[in-house]
Amino acid sequence: MPNTPLLTVERLLFERDDCNVFEQIDLSVGRGDIVQIEGANGSGKTTLMRLLTTALQPTSGNILYAGEAIDLCRYEYLSDILYLGHQPGVKMTLTAEENLRWMAADCGNSAQDALAAVGLAGYADMPCYNLSAGQHRRVALARLLMTNAKLWYLDEPFTAIDKQGVSFLENCMRDHAKRGGAVVLSTHQDLAIDGVRKYSILAHADQGGL
């Protein structure tokens, strides 16, 4: 089914403590799309990301992967997504390479190459507590080079990353979209990529924001 979008979100509603965090999220992400989720602090960007990654269950509404409800194709869906959250998920006592060994199971590239590409060439064998916050972030970003996932969910991926890192990440996303993958990211920055679709949460929420 080449015309079916990779991800379809229908009338997604999420309640927390009897109050809607947001309602009526309708979103469709096709192959080659880069979707930027926008919204003020506290408007529910991370919540939306966590709903999409199944870490949270929506109160009502559907999330479809290639036209099929994700509850029905859970294994396929979760094998095809990659999620980078607020916390990089980097273990401080492990080295950068060991971290990647456990985080990125489906290696296309070797961990060494991926680390070199994110600018951590000499740091592969150093325990991560010796690295800075931005370098932790880069270790997590190296996963992007080692995955076969089609759908990337990046929650504030630019936090603590320097300018070269930002342009590297933008290149990564552009290449991924060209290969037929899709990216959903939340950020407040403007991206230097053409054809980024913006999706504003605030416009769809009944409350929230300032």
- Which residue matches tokens 């309602």? 23
Q: How far is the CB of 77 from other proteins (least distance, A)?
A: 8
Looking at the Cβ atoms of 40 and 94, the one nearer to other proteins is 94
Looking at the Cβ atoms of 88 and 157, the one nearer to other proteins is 88
Lookup: tokens for 144 = 């992007």
**Residues 51, 155: contact at Cβ < 8 Å?**
no
Q: How far is the CB of 47 from other proteins (least distance, A)?
A: 11
Q: How far is the CB of 23 from other proteins (least distance, A)?
A: 18
Looking at the Cβ atoms of 72 and 105, the one nearer to other proteins is 105
| Cα–Cα distance measured from residue 63 to residue 74, given in angstroms and rounded to the nearest whole number | 11
Residues in contact with other proteins by CB under 8 A are 53-57, 74-75, 77-79, 81, 83, 85-94, 98, 102-103, 105, 127
**Rg of the chain, C-alpha, whole Å:** 17
Q: How far is the CB of 63 from other proteins (least distance, A)?
A: 13
At 157 the three-state DSSP class reads coil
Looking at the Cβ atoms of 34 and 70, the one nearer to other proteins is 70
Q: How far is the CB of 5 from other proteins (least distance, A)?
A: 21
Nearest Cα to Cα of residue 180 among 147, 145, 150? 150
Looking at the Cβ atoms of 141 and 196, the one nearer to other proteins is 141
Q: Which residues pair with 11 in a beta bridge?
A: none
Q: How far is the CB of 50 from other proteins (least distance, A)?
A: 8
**Residues 49, 184: contact at Cβ < 8 Å?**
yes
Looking at the Cβ atoms of 108 and 195, the one nearer to other proteins is 108
The sign of the torsion formed by the CA atoms of 90, 137, 64, 7 equals negative
Phi then psi for residue 43, to 5 deg, are -85, -5
**Residues 107, 144: contact at Cβ < 8 Å?**
no
